[in-house]
């Protein structure tokens, strides 16, 4: 099996996997990260999202071989070295923006990506940015409030 050198959450990881393995499986199965979740494997729901070079992308169909030198940040990697939460993570806790929380990874990642681009999004822009992300519990309105709160706190 080929080896790949990946940049994950600020450190370099060498993984030994088949080239067609989607990034999600490498992150969860090999690197034992819990943030990105398997939801569909079809790039339809957003639960597997990670930041690749600062932009939210789904990781469930993206082959590991295609990553090159890209920098990957997962939900875990948003917490700083002192254990302090990212403003978006903090806002999700403050707004209690989850029920089962299974979608939360993708929501937080998509929100961080949005705020990187647009620090002051309006409601329509927030909704647009989260269009891929499904939540079956109906926590959407709290998620929107959390993103507004995070934008305000940045």
What letter would DSSP give residue 76? G
Residue 14 interacting with another protein (CB under 8 A): no
Count CA within 13 A, CB hemisphere, residue 17.
Answer: 23
CB nearer to ligand FES: give 88 or 98. Answer: 98
Q: Kindly give the interhelix angle for 140-153 and 87-94, rounded to the nearest 10 degrees.
A: 130
Cα gap 55→86, rounded to integer Å:
16
Provide DSSP, 8-33.
ETTEEEEEE--TT-BHHHIIIIIS--
Residue 63 interacting with ligand FES (CB under 6 A): no
> Dmax over Cα atoms in the chain, in whole Å?
47
Among 4, 6, 8, 21, binds another protein (CB under 8 A): 21
Residue 98 interacting with ligand FES (CB under 6 A): yes
Q: Where on the chain is the footprint of another protein (CB under 8 A)?
A: 1, 17-18, 21-22, 25, 28-30, 32-35, 37-42, 44-45, 47, 74-76, 79, 85, 89-90, 92-93, 96-105, 108, 126-128, 130-131, 133-142, 144
Q: Where on the chain is the footprint of ligand FES (CB under 6 A)?
A: 38-41, 43-48, 58, 60, 98-103, 135-137, 139
């Amino acid at each position: 099996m080929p080896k790949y050198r990946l940049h994950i959450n600020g450190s370099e990881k060498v993984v030994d996997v088949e080239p067609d393995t989607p990034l999600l499986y490498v992150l969860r199965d090999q690197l034992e990260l819990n943030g990105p979740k398997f939801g569909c494997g079809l790039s339809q729901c957003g639960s597997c999202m990670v930041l690749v070079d600062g932009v939210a992308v789904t990781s469930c169909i993206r082959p590991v071989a295609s990553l090159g030198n890209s920098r990957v940040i997962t939900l875990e990697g948003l917490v700083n070295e002192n254990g302090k939460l990212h403003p978006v993570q903090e806002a999700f806790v403050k707004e209690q923006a989850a029920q089962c929380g299974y979608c939360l990874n993708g929501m937080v990642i998509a929100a961080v990506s949005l705020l990187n681009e647009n620090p002051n999004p309006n409601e329509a822009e927030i909704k647009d940015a989260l269009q891929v992300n499904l939540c079956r519990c109906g926590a959407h309105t709290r998620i929107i409030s959390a993103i507004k709160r995070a934008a305000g706190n940045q």
